[in-house]
Amino acid sequence: MLLLSIDSSTRGCSVALYQDQVLLATNDLFTDRSSSAMLTILLDNLVRSTGHSLHDLDAVAVAKGPGSYTGLRVAVSTAKGLCFALEKPLLAANTLAGMAQQVYGFFSDDTWFCPMIDARRMEVYAAIYNAQGQEMEPTKAIILDETSFAETLDSHRLVFFGDGAAKCKPLLGAHPQAIFLDEEIRPSASTIGKLALAAYEAGDFEDLATFEPYYLKDFMSPKPKKSPLIP
């Protein structure tokens, strides 16, 4: 089974190709913006570099969010376009769950993990997972303060990471149960693909016609200024 996975939940974009359980190749491009042009070139070059073509794919997976409104829209539109054109199934995985996959195995089994994505000001998108990958607290938007995660920190060591964790560290960094990773953990298509492989085996496919990104909150655009030429 040949699976292409795509992620552009935050800055830049990431693609990966799996054959069965083996990661054949991955490529990440980190920039200040995501674009459909960059993503399509990146994935086409990645597939060709392994000696395959897009027609060889058995399924396409995408990081569904949360994350950047524009980045999610680009990734999901690209994935759905490929699936429609190639008549292949679509798989999706939570962006935060994919981030958490990157740090399992480096801590004791009783440790919990909190991936965070910056949502501007003092707000983050976050979820909590245990060392076995089970969701202990669902994905939600959180406005951070000194009481954030207090109940969880009373009972578990909690590892914070992702670009939203920098906002949390000044508030909770002194807590003996709070651990903040120095290494920046970004969303990655490689771990999204790993989660999607399990979904493929379970037959957990998305409905191409109705699937939408998991924006988590409504997109807010600035109100356009009234032109002085229009009364």
Return the axis-axis angle of helices 36-49 and 69-86, rounded to nearest 10°: 50
Q: Which CATH number fits domain 2-96+186-201: 1.10.150.120, 3.30.420.40, 3.10.105.10, 3.40.630.30?
A: 3.30.420.40
- Could you tell me where in the chain the CATH 3.30.420.200 domains are found? 106-180
Q: Look up residue 147 and give its two tokens.
A: 């009481």
pLDDT band at 188 (very low <50, low <70, confident <90, very high): very high
CATH classification of 106-180 is 3.10.580.10, yes or no?
no
Q: Which residue has the tokens 């009373």?
A: 154
Each residue's pLDDT tens digit, 29-73: 887 665 667 898 999 999 999 999 999 999 999 999 999 998 999
What is the average pLDDT score of the chain?
Answer: 91
What is the C-alpha to C-alpha distance for residues 157 and 122, in angstroms, rounded to an integer? Answer: 23
pLDDT band at 226 (very low <50, low <70, confident <90, very high): very low
- Could you tell me where in the chain the CATH 3.30.420.40 domains are found? 2-96+186-201
Residue 119 in this model has a pLDDT that exceeds 90: yes
